[in-house]
Structure 1
């Protein structure tokens, strides 16, 4: 389950520079601290300074820093600043935890100085506390604690690409350099991380010994050679840059998103796209940035698009983003979703364009993105946290109020938590109250579940109305599984045949976040299943891995939870609502847990059987609404087939009565295979 963003705290770090030096950073600069190197060097060992940095970090929209984050500041900042001062760089400007737009990334440290030609030069500093790691490839390393993370040189090269591809033409020209500092590593350990490619050959990796080099050599190692103190005017101009993606970046990424065959649009999807683009043409500047006399509308527009599972909302949203990038690049179009899983997949789809990650900011940046984006696409809007507000969530209200074109996709029957639930009517009322044009579009097609409208209607009747026998085998392959062993065997066979096959379950077993890393996934899920001769067998399985499980040779044994649905090894884990919503796969296995049973000819909810802390304390009648919505999502992920198993015997008998039996490959009971044991 994704973490909720922390509430902002008051307080900030004021670091005014003396004399002609720059004042404290502009209000729009998101960072933990800023000022001249010498000023901050005198403060980094002070506990009060760290506390003020933590408060400003939260106020910048980064969330509340954890103990590990603050510990890294205490460990990494002092050696860096000692080196900078000893190198004679005290007059350079520095930003700690500098945030890119939408808080998409945070740079550990960013130095600013004036180059020999007077141009502003930025030095990105990536700080690591590692002492050793195993290099998996040019993009990934395996840390000694078992965590797989981005190669620091690759990481800082991606940061550098942001300044290149997001600098508007009106901004001052920048030279951007980069360096990686491993203050606790030996010279040999640092040398092993250097990458000798064209794109990264100029990015050094420094060890603790390098930080003790003579001052002249240290300046060169820190990539600050030739730099002088920036003027106050230069600092102000830098802090006032309104970062926006270049037309070239938008063109390339937009073309890539549009060109993906999986995003082909048909039927009412295509009609909706054309209608949205027509509204965009009236409210947004065209590619040539020339007004169309008599045709330009004012006041902005809000478009809501609703539809059930598989109606094509996300496919349309992604295609729309691509079109807006290409036709209206100056509007800085962005895509935001409360689903961290969907966001991870979109970023993964454009990973070769490092700077494109900023086009998919996190949901915590919704309000700040509304301040700068001219066009904003929001998917899964019904899942936006209300924050206790009546009516529209405050962040979504800011979008409706400020963004010239907001296209909001939602399904009111996919609300799965009590702090969610935005409706079309709430958005319509807010838009009209603000004098904004509102349009509503409904997607009625079915592009998942083999395009079977009969199946999606059957699921809705099963959960919300009067359950009927399933008679649509000609349109969709639906069956029950007799036990979890058979379900597992079916998933494994489908995977072996080259298909994507995944199992999801209700959140009815603990899914701990903080636990020791082991070579195999912990088997969190245990189901006692009846077998022959009135005995029972225990079926065990692993929930999604919170972080990827990597073998010593770099083989991915289990992807991290957000990529579980599509990456190799995901079929050996069990997904839940938080890692399945918004996604699809060929074959879907669904385990209905003990939180929802068919009892006395109706669905009954048992919140005490839930391990979701946000839901288990609810009254049964309130929990029932969310449980039905959750299983509706899980039952509509399979594009080709679905197999259902209930842990409750009476519910399983009820499902068997509704769904005619179909052959399943018998479980290989002698194999001893269990999920989570590669």
Structure 2
């Protein structure tokens, strides 16, 4: 295997045996190849500062690894975590004890000195505040634990910080500032440490017991499809109690530390731990990110931290999504004061009067109430709450009357004399961590559609008709997975429909006969139920609509934007209805085909904006697999030219 061409197309700048890469590290052509691969991996074009850091940091690391006798270990430089949430400076892979794969995550720093702000943050000599390197690399170490699928090889993951320009004394100061706990066992190595004798140096690098990996082991590692090993909703209670069931990495981790620092600054009189830096005052923090960027996971983690550190601030979590709130409440059944932690959106203004800290998720869905500016309820939050953390995605605005933006919040905060910070989450922690897939969806709907290459492993396909889609969903469910079909709101959904003894088949789609003899078949299905339905024997016929996405029986009904937004499931089937078609090389909206009374009367161009956003949400619910069917033959043909058609066997 070439040093630049591993067994699979991993997202990294270079990969190969340590000795092979060390031999080329001074070759300008090698750096050019790394820059090209870095861009091809989707990281963007490396700037001058990035390339300079490679030239400064890679040689001392690789030279140390060679001197430590680790030339035959495998190394990845600029290894990208799934979804592009962050890149690891270097990752060593060897054969560990007891048959495990041994991984050593290496965080490289050119620093000599920095100011320790607390156990999680430091201020560099250039004034930039960033995560403490030990805390940062600890999150990367946790990532491999939380994202390792059950069928992957056993991993023995270690982590180390390398300050190749620092003295031993400077390294010791940084390590002492990291504290203990979860970060115990992560050494900070200085330039002096890197000059130690081979065997001692290998032990300092936590690689002294690693053997040379064979090609099979390297391939096994490279073929791992990293994915979250647990679902947020399964662990909300544990998160609120302080258990770290999800690893925050990259932008998530940075945002978490920023909000923690803001809380220490603006809630000092309410804090259990009053250590803080900066002036006392009110702060509004907006956090934006696309589907699966980790907004809700971060919001729940922040709520847990605020509950423990600032109990007298009475922190709360509010979302305008009744479906998301229902799932959060369902996830914390049995936990004390659960409803007080997750009040309804109708209480937003009154909650703002008493809460010292407020986390708002899906804020773009808050109704304006006729206001041209910030919704009055949200304006009360910006005006009154000492610390407001507001999560939103402007491309998930799905109805007229919604649409709060970051700029509107920023303007209101400044007008009211509040401090405003904006944070962006760029990673993708859904759709098997495939940033390529979420970018593909955005290009499909808002830009220039492109063929799906599937190079990063996300399973995307089309379904020839709803019968095929239904068979696929049922098979996935039988295999023990969570699988759901959601559709555009293009079929009647009467509020007074009878729901006993079974749900009415509201959705009817005519499909050409599969026999080739002409004629049509009619596929029929039910929208999800308003309330839970059970059979006389007690078996579940249908869960309540707000729990359709996760509760038993939901796969037998069809969901829509209002029951899917904010949630996820393993396998997602999507039916694009006749309200959105690909016509003459562009998306065309047909609002008269919608059954949503809030949208049906809009002009086509205005409706198009909401339709694209709605289908963007539906297309990004599947954590493992997505299958798409359009009721319009021309649109289906367009999708088939972009995606290799899939079927039930592709699950």
TM-score when normalising by structure 1: 0.59
Counterpart of 1:272 in structure 2 is: 255
Deviation of 1:631 (Å): 0.2
**What's the offset of the Cα at 1:357?**
1.1
SS for the counterpart of 1:299 is coil
Aligned to 2:292: 310
Q: Is the 8 A contact 2:239 2:301 kept in 1?
A: no
Q: Could you say what secondary structure the match of 2:440 adopts?
A: helix
Query: How far 1:519 sits from its partner (Å)?
Result: 1.4
1:650 and 2:630 aligned? no
Matched, 1:439 2:415: no
Q: Which segments of 5 or more consecutive residues in structure 2 lack a partner in the other structure? A: 1-234
Shift of 1:284: 1.2
- Distance change in 2, residues 1:318/1:479 (3 Å): same
Q: Could you say which residue in structure 2 is the equivalent of 1:364?
A: 346
How do residues 496-507 of structure 1 correspond to structure 2 at under 5 angstroms? 496-507=478-489
For 1:399 and 1:474, locate their aligned partners in 2 and report how far apart those are by CA, in whole Å. 41
Tell me: CA distance 1:309–1:256, structure 2 relative to 1, closer, same or farther (3 Å).
closer
Q: Secondary structure at the match of 1:534?
A: coil
Uncovered stretches (5+) of structure 1, i.e. residues with no partner = 1-251, 668-678
Conserved? CA contact 2:491–2:595, under 8 Å: yes
Q: Indicate the SS of the match to 1:321.
A: helix
Distance 1:444 1:646 in 2: 29
Q: Any conservation in 1 of the 2:469–2:647 contact (CA below 8 Å)?
A: no
Aligned to 2:545: 561
Change (3 A) 1:370 1:548: same
Give 1:499 deviation, angstroms: 0.6
The equivalent residue for 1:284 is 267
Given candidates 588, 591, 594, the residue that maps to 2:575 is 591
Contact map agreement 2:236 2:331 (CA 8 A) in 1:
no
CA shift for structure 1 position 550: 1.5
Q: Using a 3 Å threshold, how does the CA distance of structure 1 residues 288 and 659 change in structure 2: closer, same or farther?
A: closer
By how many angstroms is 1:353 displaced?
A: 2.2
2: CA distance between counterparts of 1:300 and 1:396? 15
Matched residues in 2 for 1:523 and 1:259: separation?
Answer: 45
Compute the displacement of 1:535 (Å): 1.8
2: distance between equivalents of 1:297 and 1:618?
48
Distance of 2:527 and 2:410 partners within structure 1: 39
**Following the alignment from structure 1 to structure 2, what is the Cα–Cα distance between the partners of residues 497 and 626?**
35
Aligned mate of 1:257, from 227, 233, 240:
240
Larger displacement relative to structure 2 (297-306 or 512-521): 512-521
Q: Is the 8 A contact 1:337 1:362 kept in 2?
A: yes
Deviation at 1:269, TM superposition (A): 0.8
**Distance change >3 Å, CA 345–CA 407, structure 1 → 2:** same
Q: Using the TM superposition, give the Cα deviation of residue 666 of structure 1 relative to its aligned residue in structure 2, in angstroms.
A: 10
C-alpha distance in 2 between matches for 1:289 and 1:666:
53
User: Following the alignment from structure 1 to structure 2, what is the Cα–Cα distance between the partners of residues 338 and 590?
Assistant: 24
1:212-611 equivalences under 5 Å are: 255-257=238-240, 263-285=246-268, 289=272, 291=274, 295=277, 297-353=279-335, 355-531=337-513, 532=515, 533-611=517-595
The CA deviation at 1:291 is: 5.0
Tell me how far apart the structure 2 counterparts of residues 447 and 287 of structure 1 sit (CA, whole Å). Answer: 34
> What is the deviation of 1:511?
1.4
- Taking the aligned partners of 2:526 and 2:242, their CA distance within structure 1 comes to 36
Q: CA deviation at 1:663?
A: 4.5
For the residue of structure 1 that corresponds to 2:448, the secondary structure is coil
TM score, norm. by length of structure 2: 0.62
Partner Cα separation in structure 2 for residue 594 and residue 539 of structure 1: 15
Query: Could you tell me which residue of structure 1 aligns to residue 644 of structure 2?
Result: 660
Conservation of the 8 A alpha-carbon contact between 2:591 and 2:601:
yes
Distance 1:260 1:493 in 2: 35
Name 2:147's counterpart in structure 1.
none
Determine the C-alpha separation between the residues in 2 that align with 1:262 and 1:634: 26
Kindly provide the CA deviation profile for residues 83-107 of structure 1, in whole angstroms up to 9, marking residues without a partner as x.
xxxxxxxxxxxxxxxxxxxxxxxxx
Which SS does the other structure have where 2:402 is aligned?
Answer: coil
Q: Is residue 613 of structure 1 aligned with residue 597 of structure 2?
A: yes
Q: Post-superposition shift, 1:554? A: 2.9
Q: CA RMSD in A?
A: 2.0
Counterpart-to-counterpart distance in 2, 1:569 and 1:363: 28
User: Per the alignment, do residues 479 and 544 of structure 1 end up closer, same or farther by CA in structure 2, a change over 3 Å counting?
Assistant: same
Deviation at 1:587, TM superposition (A): 0.4
C-alpha distance after superposition, 1:262-308 (max 9, x if no partner): 6432221111111111111111147764755x846333100000000
